[in-house]
Amino acid sequence: KKYVYYFGKTKAEGDAKMKNLLGGKGANLAEMVRLGFPVPPGFTISTEVCKYYYDHGEKYPEELVGEVKAAMEMLEKETGKGFGSAERPLLVSVRSGAAISMPGMMDTILNLGLNNETVKGLINESGNPRFCYDAYRRFLQMFGDVVLKIEHSEFEKALSSVKKEKGVKLDTELDATDMEEVVKRYLEVYKKAGKEFPQDPWEQLWMATNAVFGSWMNERAIKYRALNGVKEGDLLGTAVNVCTMVFGNTGDDSGTGVAFTRDPNTGEKKLYGEYLPNAQGEDVVAGIRTPYPMTKLHEINPAVYDQLLDIFEKLEKHYRDMQDIEFTVEHGTLYLLQTRNGKRTPYASVKIAVDLAKEGLITKEEAVMRVTPDHIETLLHPYFTKETLESAEKLAKGIAASPGAASGVIAFDPETAERMVRDEGKMVILVRPETSPEDIAGMAAAQGILTSTGGKTSHAAVVARGMGKTCIVGCEAVEVDEHAKEMKVNGKILKEGDWLSIDGTTGEVFMGKLDSVKPQGLEGPLAEVLGWADEIRRLGVRTNADTPKDASIARGFGAEGIGLTRTEHMFFQEDRIFAMRQMITSSTLEQRKKALSKLLPMQEDDFYGIFKAMEGYPVTIRLLDPPLHEFLPKEDEDIRDLAKEMGMGYDELKATIEELHEFNPMMGFRGCRLAVVYPEIAEMQTRAIIGAAIKLVKEGMNVIPEIMIPLIIELEELKYVKAIIVKAADEMIREAGVDLVYKVGTMIEVPRAALTADEIAREAEFFSFGTNDLTQMTFGFSRDDYGKFVGHYLEKGILPTDPFQKLDRVGVGQLVKMGTEKGRSTRPDLKVGICGEHGGEPSSVEFCHLVGLNYVSCSPYRVPIARLAAAQAVI
Ligand code: ADP
Ligand code: MG
Ligand code: MG
């Protein structure tokens, strides 16, 4: 069995397809060698070794030592150097890398191979003792920190002491002798910690390898995987990459950088990145020194800059995606150290997918697949309006690292942030000097993140973008005092729990809580890619809307009609509830008709507005559905008022109300049962619907009303209610002398209706699955009470997901499928839709596509997600 894969100057044993085996980093290094790009040679110990290591009590397969030795010999041959050689020492980095990119999750060790002897060889060879001792002390620090778990701060202290004695502030001000002194003190740090620094390079290598494999199971790696939905067992483990060192810290003609082939914030096609002259890789990522924009490299070495541009272009073409690249320049020669698909904001994700399709690098279908429901959700997230911003108190401005608008109370550490969100239900802004992998859970809990240091590729920026969180970094005006739990900013002091608002699009920080608004429509690349989704999808997408305002928002989001208008919501408005209550408590038909006649014009107005907003698309209106007692007055005072208005005694009304009380209202006197008992209600609603439609027809508008009867269980029942509707409607249309086609259909939301759908379809002109009630009744889970126990079902793995969120394909789904098939067996052109909450949930939308429904209907803000999911279901 092969455990080690070599990548050299001209040949590589691995390639990009071997991510599972070599990890992303190893696979892409090999691929870049194949593409002929300058990569320092090295080899990858596969992820299978990691698995073996954990399966066998932290032992390696027997063959491994031999394979590593052989690979090292190849390296020595290719570089002309010797591992442990005192003349021309070969130095390497030891880097982790799993199949998914886990930025900063596991630890890299640079300059491995240095010891008291080899450092002299390096000095002879380079003629630059300052650089050599700097490299050595960096290695001592990383090795001590990562492998031997010596307190990082001990090294910091030792370094500071030398700086203090020398009277300088910056590392760069230390000369060779100083650095040699630092090395000495670092070695003392080891001793003081009771650890021994291994002088033998091979021992260094194996200890580092153990540490990398060990880090696979460290707390932050486990947490990262959990947060990203990676289950233990999904991946074999991490690989270990051993890579010849190249040096960015050998002088001003050297340097190191991180660059994206497109702007990860905006998606714009322009080089975006940071370059730090005379530095080693970690300096940029850790945010210790503030790097320059890439133009700096152009100034220093235009030839290398152009070479990079050319490589970036080729890499994008090859990987067909935006790349995030680490590179180092050593004495004017360029080396690539890593490439991967770059993390980006949701906005940039969509823009890049659209642009790549337009550039012909990917197909429209692929572009559609690259957009996720989460992207859309964040793109439709709130922003601060101009007006809000004008009156807001601006505190500072930092680097805009991840767009969006967020308000929350301040937390200065991740644990507090998590606790405030989880236990106190607060919205939190996490404020830190900088973030590190330990902060991830706190970042995930927060609404937004603000750091006082770091650049655009710092940990906070990269992670926040990946999470789609609003983030500002490098806000230097903010001074964080973590221990005192307060921050100073431009003369103000803010404490934990104070409100703060941040605008990740501009980088501005504001005092207090700012109101944000949601976007009202789609524009730019999102509109474009959803347009492509529309070309691809076969499922229609409608909306659930009860008001003209919601209807027009949904139109803006691309809804092709209304799948559900709930008429009852209209009755809760203050001027109407009174008439409604009057209607309900009427004891005679006369009284009830009188009350209904008050409601009629109001309803007609509503429907008029909704039809109009829907611009000629079909509008499905459901007749009154909830149990009547929901509308009844509960306060004594209200009862008294109502009694007076109706000329009833208080006691008489009170008794009526009590009579209407139900033990199990969800299965009680509701839905079409109301129409069966009080046909005049259905008649009034029909008159309101048809009346509004006739008005609009007369105004020259196309109107398609679909009247929907809720909670049907039986053909005879449907016949009875439908007759009431048809009689009223036809009479009105005849009298008005207009051309108006309307439909009468039913909801399928009681299992019996699904079971008898073939009969019901004899009268129903369309079906709409009300999957909220259908789930409730199929499971026998009360929608209002299941929260008490569903958590246990999920935890214990009895149910895979919450059936009210994700349609239960096995049970409820079977009823949907059967109901559709049965219905169409009677009426082949039967239109079938779904109007429960599931209509905007991607997996449920996919199911609706698979069983051949005509459309899904969901709340306005879910419409774009449904359009996307419907297209993805086809691809
Ligand atoms: P991460 O996965 O955290 O990015 P890396 O293994 O990529 O860790 O390395 C951390 C830093 O060290 C990066 O900036 C990288 O470019 C640099 N680096 C890694 N290996 C080498 C090497 N052989 N020569 C020079 N720099 C290196
Ligand atoms: Mg890296
Ligand atoms: Mg229902």
For residue range 719-765, what is the model confidence (pLDDT) as tens digits?
Answer: 999 999 999 999 999 999 999 999 999 999 999 999 999 999 999 99
Local confidence band at 571 (pLDDT 50, 70, 90 cut-offs): confident
Where is the domain boundary, 298, 320, 342?
Answer: 320
337 lines ligand 1 (CB under 6 A): yes
Binding residues for substrate: 566, 622, 749, 770-773
pLDDT of residue 103: 56
Does the C-beta of 246 come closer than 6 Å to ligand 1? yes
Q: Is 16 in the pocket of ligand 1 (CB under 6 A)?
A: no
Phi-psi region of 47 (alpha: psi -120 to 50; beta: other; left: phi over 0): alpha
Whether the pLDDT of residue 659 is over 90: the answer is: no
Please check whether residues 490 and 551 belong to one and the same domain: no
ipTM attached to this prediction: 0.95
564 vs 708: CA distance, rounded Å: 8
Residues paired with residue 833 on neighbouring β-strands, in sequence order: 768, 855
Whether residue 288 has pLDDT greater than 90: no
Name the residue with the closest Cα to ligand 1, atom 1.
104
Task: Indicate whether 373 belongs to any domain.
Answer: no
Nearest-ligand number for the alpha carbon of 101: 1
254 lines ligand 1 (CB under 6 A): no
In a domain, 60, yes or no: yes
> Would the CB of 639 count as within 6 Å of ligand 1?
no
Q: Are residues 511 and 604 in the same domain?
A: no
Calculate mean pLDDT across residues 502-522. 87
Domain containing residue 817: CATH number: 3.20.20.60
Neighbours of 61 (CB within 10 A): 14
Distance, in Å, from the CA atom of 80 to the CA atom of 258, rounded to the nearest integer, reads: 29
For residues 45-67, give the mean pLDDT.
96
Tokens 């730019």 belong to which residue?
524
Q: Does 553 map to a domain?
A: yes
User: Token pair of 206, please?
Assistant: 């194996």
| Alpha carbon distance 309, 332 (integer Å) | 16
Quick check: 556 pLDDT over 60? yes
Q: What residue numbers does the annotated binding site cover?
A: 566, 622, 749, 770-773
831 CA → ligand 1 middle, Å: 58
pLDDT on residue 287: 55
Tokens, residue 830: 């039967």
* pLDDT range class, residue 284, cuts 50, 70, 90: low
What average pLDDT score do residues 42-64 get? 96
Dist. CA 522–CA 557, nearest whole Å = 6
CA of 666 to the centre of ligand 3 (A): 9
Indicate the residue among 517, 549, 576 that finishes a domain: 517
Task: Dihedral sign for Cα 570, 572, 574, 579, please.
Answer: positive
Residue closest via CA to ligand 1's atom 6 equals 95
286 has pLDDT over 80: no
Indicate whether residue 452 lines ligand 1 (CB < 6 A). Answer: no
Q: What is the CATH number of the domain that holds 399?
A: 3.50.30.10
Q: Is 301 in the pocket of ligand 1 (CB under 6 A)?
A: no
Q: Are residues 219 and 149 in the same domain?
A: yes
The atom of ligand 1 lying closest to the CA of 280 is 26
Quickly count: other Cβ atoms within 10 Å of residue 504's Cβ: 28
Q: Can you read off the two tokens belonging to residue 477?
A: 């005006």
502 belongs to a structural domain: yes
For residues 184 and 164, give the distance between their C-alpha atoms in angstroms, rounded to a whole number.
Answer: 16
Whether residue 421 is found in the same domain as residue 561: no
Q: How confident is the model at residue 822 (pLDDT cuts 50, 70, 90)?
A: very high
Indicate if ligand 1 lies below 6 Å from the C-beta of 95.
Answer: yes
Question: Which ligand ends up closest to the CA of 335?
Answer: 1
333-359: pLDDT as tens digits = 999 999 999 989 888 999 999 999 999
Boundary of a domain, candidates 320, 338, 368: 320
557 and 504, same structural domain? no
| Cβ–ligand 1 contact at 641 (below 6 Å) | no
Q: Are residues 544 and 506 in the same domain?
A: no
Residue with CA at minimum distance from ligand 1 atom 18: 281
Handedness of CA 19, 20, 26, 31 (dihedral sign): negative
Ligand nearest to the CA of 568: 3
How much of the chain, in percent, has pLDDT values that exceed 90?
72
CA 39 to centroid of ligand 1, rounded, Å: 12
Based on the fold, state whether residues 833 and 868 are members of the same structural domain. Answer: yes
The parent domain of residue 150 ranges over 4-254+287-320
Instruction: Determine, yes or no, domain membership for 765.
Output: yes
Distance (Å) from CA 572 to ligand 3 centroid = 18
Q: Indicate if the pLDDT at residue 435 is higher than 90.
A: no
338 lines ligand 1 (CB under 6 A): yes
Question: Residues 254-260: what's their mean pLDDT?
Answer: 94
- Written as six digits, the tokens of 661 are 């009380």
Confirm whether 665 is domain-assigned.
no
CA of 31 to the centre of ligand 1 (A): 17
Q: Is the pLDDT of residue 104 over 60?
A: no
Sheet hosting strand 478-481, strand order edge to edge = 478-481, 486-489, 492-495
**835 CA from centroid of ligand 3 (Å):** 9
Is the domain of 443 the same as that of 535? no
Same domain, yes or no: 462 and 606: no
* pLDDT > 70 in the chain, percent: 98
26 lines ligand 1 (CB under 6 A): no
Q: Looking at 475, 672, 835, 848, which residue is catalytic?
A: 835
Tens digits of residue pLDDT in 586-606: 888 998 999 999 999 999 999
Q: Is 659 part of any domain? A: no
Return the amino acid letter for 767. F
Judge if pTM exceeds 0.90.
no
CA distance 482 to 339: 35
In the chain the first and final C-alpha atoms are separated, in Å, by 38
pLDDT for 848 beyond 60: yes
Residue 439 exposure: Cα atoms within 13 Å on the Cβ side? 27
Structure tokens that stand for 844 in this block: 């449920």
Q: Are residues 557 and 486 in the same domain?
A: no
**Using CB atoms within 10 A of its CB, is residue 295 exposed (0-12), middle (13-18) or buried (19+)?**
exposed
Nearest in space to 395 (alpha carbons), one of 490, 282, 303: 490
Return phi, psi of residue 614, to 5°: -90, 0
Ligand (nearest to CA of 276): 1
**Mean pLDDT to the nearest integer, 111-133:** 95
What is the mean predicted confidence (pLDDT) over 258-277? Answer: 92
Alpha helix ranges (H) inside 457-588: 459-467, 524-536, 548-556, 568-571, 574-585
Residues 292 and 422 in one domain: no
Q: b/e string for 309-333 if b means 16 or more Cβ within 10 A?
A: eebbeebbebbebbbbbbbbbbeee
pLDDT at 120 over 90: yes
Residue 487 shares a structural domain with residue 556 = no
Ligand 1 nearest-atom number relative to CA 284: 14
Task: List the residue whose alpha carbon is closest to atom 15 of ligand 1.
Answer: 281
Query: Of the candidates 860, 800, 805, which has an alpha carbon nearest to the alpha carbon of residue 836?
Result: 805
Average pLDDT, the chain: 92
Q: Residue 157 sits in a domain of what CATH number?
A: 3.30.1490.20
Q: How far apart are CA 172 and CA 798, in angstroms?
A: 61
Q: CB within 8 A of 428, min separation 6: which ones?
A: 408, 409, 410, 411, 417, 420, 421, 445, 446, 447
Q: How many CA atoms lie within 13 A of 331 on its CB side?
A: 5
User: Which of 326, 327, 328 gets mutated to test ligand 1 (max ligand atoms within 8 A of its CB)?
Assistant: 326
Q: In whole angstroms, what is the distance from residue 178 CA to residue 407 CA?
A: 48
Cβ–Cβ < 8 Å for 708, 746: yes
CB 259 within 8 A of CB 325: yes
Residue stretches of the annotated binding site for Mg(2+): 749, 773
Distance CA 540, CA 833 (A): 9
Q: Which atom of ligand 1 is nearest to the CA of 97?
A: 2
**HEC profile for 323-372?**
EEEEEEEECCEEEEEEEEECCCCHHHHHHHHHHHHHCCCCCHHHHHHHCC
CA distance to 262, 375, 527, 528, 662, per residue, from 524 (Å): 17, 14, 6, 6, 52
The secondary structure of residue 91, as a DSSP letter, is -
CA dihedral 240, 241, 244, 248 (to 10 degrees): -100
Instruction: Report which protein residue has its CA nearest ligand 1's atom 20.
Output: 93
Residue nearest to atom 12 of ligand 1 (CA): 281
CB count in 10 Å sphere of residue 344: 27
**Rounded CA gap, 863 and 28, in Å?**
38
| Catalytic residue check, 835 | yes
- Residue 362, in any domain of the structure: no
Spot the catalytic one: 375, 459, 629, 849: 459
Give the model's pLDDT for residue 635: 82
> Which of the pair, 645 or 573, is modelled with greater confidence?
645
Q: Give the number of domains in the chain.
A: 3
